[in-house]
Every structure is written in C-alpha cells, then in structure tokens.
A and B are shown apart, each in its own frame.
Chain A
Amino acid sequence: MTPEYRKIAHNGLWKNNQALVALLGMCPLMAVSNTVINALGLGLATTATLVASNALISAIREQVSDEVRLPVFVLVIAAIVTVVELTMNAFLHELYLILGIFIPLIVTNCSIIGRAEAFAAKNPVKQSAADGLFMGLGFTLVLVVLGAMREGLGTGAVFAHAELMFGDYAKTWAITLFDDYEGFLLAVLPPGAFIGLGFIIAGKNLIDGWLARRKKAGIAMMSMTRHTAPTG
C-alpha cells in the first residue's frame, strides 16, 4: 500500500472514523446495531453506497458546476441507494425485511454526502473509491463491535440469524457466550446503543491518548539518545 492509500485507510478506519470521530450516521448506527448480523448488513450496504457514490461523484466532478453541485450529488446518491435497496430486496430479502426503513434511509446518512463534498469532489476516482471503501469499513467496524456488545450482553449469544445473510449453512454460526442467560434488556433497547457507543468512543480516546504519550516519550527518548550511548 502506497503512503497515500495508507493515509486514506488510516483516516477512514481510525483517525476520522465516521461513527466515532465525525459522529455521522448516528440514527442507523443506534437503530440497527442490536445484533451482529443486522449491523454487518447495514454496514456493508452503507459501504457499497459510499464506494459507488464517491467513485461516481469523483468521475463527474469536472462536469458539474458549483451552482448545481449539491443537487447533482444528492441525485446520484439517491439513485445509488435505490439500486442498493432493490438489489438487497431481490437477493437478501429476509435481511432486507429486518433492516427495513434503514436501507432507503442510507440516503440521509450524512457521511455519504459528507465524503462526496469533502473528498470525492476534489480527488481522482481511484482515491475517492478507496476513501469510500475505508470510511465505509470504519463505519461497519463500529456497527459490528457495537452489535456484538449489545447482542452478547442482551441475549447471551452472538451471530444469531447469520443465515439471513450467508444462507442456510450459516444457521450453526450462532455462538452462545453464556448458558442459561436471562438476557439484559437494556443492552438491546435504544439506551444500550447510546451507552455502548459512549464506551467505544471512550476506548478510542484512551488508545489515542496512550499512543500520543508513547510518541512523546519516544521523541524525548530519541533526543536523549543523541547525547547518551544507547544501552540496547
């Protein structure tokens, strides 16, 4: 991976993560993260939309003047989301029924128009598609982690109903974490999503703080080594 793409990946997955840092797309994030499979389904649909919309918008960025830029972007995104919706309805019908209104609502996920404006409108097609991919994967990652937390705490198992996405042979994928688990309702209800996301953001900040301290210590160490002999 060239440094340019590494930077795009780092931005999407961590530094400017749409769910943890930009805090965009909260509504589907909260609503659909109640199980891992729901989270994965919506995350991948969002990722597909982001890659397609970023690539298309980047391809047409020279032809579209500033005055009509936003309406054209919205048109493109709406068309892509409808195509994704129809495709899911046809090929992943049961998952589509569960995700329901949140598939058409991808169109209102701010991170999509946000990436179109902030990245795709200024960068070449390949880089824009990569940006869409990593922003989408970053969003999916948070959705899935939150989904695993909520499903695991709420029902005592994860990966239930994997067959909705991966076909009948995935029926055995469900992993029971605790036997005879009573269930913890709060985790499955909407407040569980807010609390869970809070913990994930706190966790990211902890790691960032630790990395920053280590880097600082590393720089201090380096400046010291200039004057002292390394000891190993």
Chain B
Amino acid sequence: MNPLEHLDPAIVKAARVLGLFALLGMGTVGVFHAMTAGRIAANERAILLHSLQALVPAERCDNDMLTDRLEIFDPEALGSRQEVPVYRARKSGEPVAAVFASVAPDGYNGDIKLLVAINADGSLAGVRVVGHKETPGLGDGVEASRSNWIHRFTGLSLSDPAEAQWKVRRDGGRFDQFAGATITPRAVVKAVYKTLLYFRAHREALFTEPAIETEEAP
C-alpha cells in the first residue's frame, strides 16, 4: 500500500514542490558550473602566472613554473598550517629560482600572503604581497601598488644584510617600518627571512624533488 496515503495531501504536494525546486536549483547550478569551470581555472592560472612572472621574468626560465611545483608542509618556517606551494623556475634544466607562497601569520590583521622568489644562488629575486587584510593607508604600504617598500628586498640575501639585521629599524634591523605601522612590515620581514633560512637548509632537495602531479588540465 502507498505509505503516503495517510498523510495530508497538501503536505505531500508541498514536499513534492520543494523537492522539485531543490532539483531544479541544483541542476541549474550544475550546468553553470560545468559551463564556467574551464574559464575560471584558466583565469586563476593566468593571475598566478602573471604574479610569478613579475618576480621571475619569462625570459629567465624555459619551464612551466605552474606545473613544476612542490607542496611543502612546514608551519614553523613557511607560516601556513596548510601545504605551501613552491614553484620552480629552470632554464635548460638548471635551477634558476624557487618561488614560495609563504605566509606571514602575524600581521596586524591576520595572515599576509606572500610570494617570495629566491634565486638559485640564495639572493632574493623579489617579494610580493598577494593577499592581506592590513589597515588601508597604514599597513597596506607593503603592496607593490602602494609603495616601493617591497622592492627593497630584491637582491638581498642572508649575507646582505647580516642575519641579525633582518628586522625592522625599531627592532634594531635594516628595514624601514612605516609611519604608524610597524607590525605589518615586521611580519613581512620575518616571513621573508624564515623563507630564506628554509631555502638555505633545503636548497638541494628543493630543485631535485620531482614535481607533484596536478589534477587540473593545463
């Protein structure tokens, strides 16, 4: 017998309508997802590639940095409780640079996401802030579009300045803070310094380790 028989027909009808709309809604979203997924993935790759090439220009390497990628889990050194992608640049198979998506976890307002590009010789090819929630007008001077501060890192290494000098001026180091904002630059300097230390300790493995398999089609 029909188990729905004893129910109020109005309830059964309402449930049917609700179920129908749930299916329709899911179907619509599914269709749009399928239609846009490829384009969205391409957008994300293009944005990432653009920011990587700002640090390691295309003419310096001949591999696909996006796929020549490692994922490293080291919250202490790289600042993130998740795996941090490392993109490797090579020319004719020789290591050119490694770009770490490090995180400065102690910003004024949460994580500051960085890209730290380190040349094979251990000097910095450049640093960029790719995401942060610092105070507009004060801490956001770390953005390349707001001030030149972040460009100061280019060419520096663990020997220039000396390791003890990898601090903001207020802490006795070599890096300027901003008027009204010390915490943000301090966090960035610390994260860059820690990434350099990680690179020095793992330089060999960083370039010899095989790239991880990517699911996304290029």
Contact = CB atoms under 8 A, between A and B. Distances in A.
Interface of A: 34, 60, 63-65, 67-68, 71-72, 75-76, 78-79, 82-83, 86-87, 89-91, 93-94, 97, 154, 183, 185, 188-189
A162 to B, nearest CB: 15
Interface stretch (B36-44, B96-104, B190-198): B36-44
A32 to B, nearest CB: 13
A183 B183 CA distance: 21
Nearest to B145: A161
Given A68-B17, A83-B32, A185 B39 contact: no
A65 to B, nearest CB: 5
B169 interface: no
Contacts of A86: 29, 32-33, 35-36, 40
B32 A87 contact: yes
B216 to A, nearest CB: 15
B28 A64 contact: no
Interface string B195-206: 000000000000
B28 A63 contact: no
6 contacts: A67-B11, A75-B25, A83-B32, A86-B35, A90-B43, A93-B44
Given A65-B10, A79-B25, A79-B28, A94 B36 contact: no
A65 B32 contact: no
Contact of B18 (A71, A90, A94, A97): A71
A31 to B, nearest CB: 12
Interface in B10-37: 10-11, 13-15, 17-18, 21-22, 24-26, 28-29, 32-33, 35-36
Contacts of B15: 68
B99 to A, nearest CB: 19
A97 B50 CA distance: 15
Question: DSSP class of A's interface residues: helix, strand, loop or mixed?
Answer: helix
A94 B24 CA distance: 30
B18 A72 contact: yes
Contacts of B13: 65
Contact of B17 (A72, A89, A183, A189): A72
Contacts of B24: 79
A89 B138 CA distance: 30
Nearest to B19: A68
A65 B36 contact: no
A8 to B, nearest CB: 26
B51 to A, nearest CB: 12
Contacts of A90: 36, 39-40, 43
A83 B28 contact: yes
Contact of A64 (B17, B26, B40, B137): B17
A136 B22 CA distance: 26
